[in-house]
Amino acid sequence: MIYINISIITFIVKLSITTKNNTIFFYFELLLLIIIVLSYYYATPKIDSLNITWILCYIIFLFIIMLTLILFAKNLLVKNEKNILINLESRYYYRKRRTKFIKLLLSKIYNSKRGILFYEFFTSEIFSKKNILSIGAGIIFTAFYLILIFNYPFIEEEKKLAEKTIVVIFLFIQLILSGILESRINSQNWYFYKSMPVSFIKIFLANYIPYLIFASLIDFIIIAIIFITTKEVLIWLLLITDMLFIPLIMWNLSFRYIRRKILGMIVFGIIFLIYISLRILTPYLCFVLFSIYSVFLIKYNIKIYKNLEI
């Protein structure tokens, strides 16, 4: 359950990032989260033995974690316009801000496009005060969450799972990385790009592919670990959320009107429900599929990224 819930938070945060600063979506996502969490509880027979106070506590903690992460992601979005330039302009834009250590570390690789991938991560806004605070808050809440799970009086099985904290830590890292990397996607200044002799899709790809490579790689590692240790259904969740994240971003980029975004969200919701109903399929199959998917995705994206000329 812990994996499922954390992956749901990842999913919600991802959703939140793509929908940007839209308050209506924030509440929509919050509602979605509560519904999902409650439905998980009602779907399991353990519910009869649970104390309602615990459930409420649990939901509140989930909410706080989610809120922290969303705020963290939104802090990044404030600087998003700079981020979108990193791929194109990192060679000079961040030059003046980098530290000596990073300079030393990346001096050999940052001139190549592959190098930019790492360069932009190390020089990103992650080191700003606000974000360090947000990450700190996120870690504290996660610790609370883990303590809560460890002391959870009724679910032995989950306690056992929670002991494998390394997996949770991995997930949390993935969450942070996703937030940072996904926040690079930006549909603002559409007219600016449209008036320039450069393909908007190329700019989008230049910003999205590094994320995709990172996220896929990290997901793959996490899933491999989870598969080896627990064979949880999280494999499904991560697989689907990442796969759906591509069209979701596309939707958000192309739909400049809220009505269409809502439609996109509804379609996305339907797909998510179908996924939930399909998750009885064997995780072994998922693992094989995900392996193929990841390897292809990483290989293909590196190829595109290397050939991307703007």
Residues that bind other proteins (CB under 8 A): 78-79, 81-82, 85, 88-89, 92-93, 189, 191-192, 194-199
Nearest Cα residue to 273 out of 32, 47, 3: 32
Are 122 and 102 spatial neighbours (Cβ–Cβ below 8 Å)?
A: yes
Cα distances (Å, whole numbers) of residue 77 to 125, 187, 217 = 10, 12, 23
Nearer to other proteins, 205 or 218 (CB): 205
Burial class (CB in 10 A: 0-12, 13-18, 19+), 285: exposed
Nearer to other proteins, 51 or 188 (CB): 188
Which C-beta is closer to other proteins: that of 118 or that of 200? 200
Residue 85 vs 248, nearer CB to other proteins: 85
Least Cβ distance, residue 193 to other proteins (angstroms): 8
Euclidean distance between CA atoms 149 and 137, whole angstroms? 18
**Of 125, 117, 118, 172, whose CA–CA distance to 146 is shortest?**
172
Instruction: Work out how close the CB of 192 gets to other proteins at its nearest, in angstroms, rounded to a whole number.
Output: 4
Check if the beta carbon of residue 211 is closer than 8 Å to that of residue 184: yes
Q: Residue 265 CB, nearest distance to other proteins (Å)?
A: 26
Report the nearest approach of other proteins to the CB of residue 14 (Å).
Answer: 23
Tell me the closest approach of the beta carbon of residue 126 to other proteins, in angstroms: 17
Cβ neighbours of residue 201 closer than 8 Å, sequence gap 6 or more: none
Tokens 């627990």 appear where? Answer: 230
- Residue 11 or 193 having the CB closest to other proteins: 193
CB nearer to other proteins: pick between 51 and 111:
111
Q: Nearest distance from residue 104's CB to other proteins, in Å?
A: 25
Helix residue ranges per DSSP H, 80-128: 80-93, 100-106, 113-122
Backbone phi, psi, residue 20, to 5°:
60, -145
Q: Which is nearer to other proteins, 36 or 85 (CB)?
A: 85
Smallest distance from other proteins to CB 246, Å: 24
Shortest Å, Cβ 186 to other proteins: 10
- What whole-number distance in Å separates Cα of residue 188 and Cα of residue 82? 12
Q: What is d(CA 16, CA 30) in angstroms, rounded to the nearest whole number?
A: 10
Nearer to other proteins, 125 or 158 (CB): 125
DSSP secondary-structure letter at 124? S
Pick from 27, 140, 143, 137: nearest CA to 73: 137
Q: Which is nearer to other proteins, 189 or 229 (CB)?
A: 189
Residues 6+ apart with CB under 8 A from 39: none
Task: State the minimum distance, in angstroms, from the CB of residue 24 to other proteins.
Answer: 23
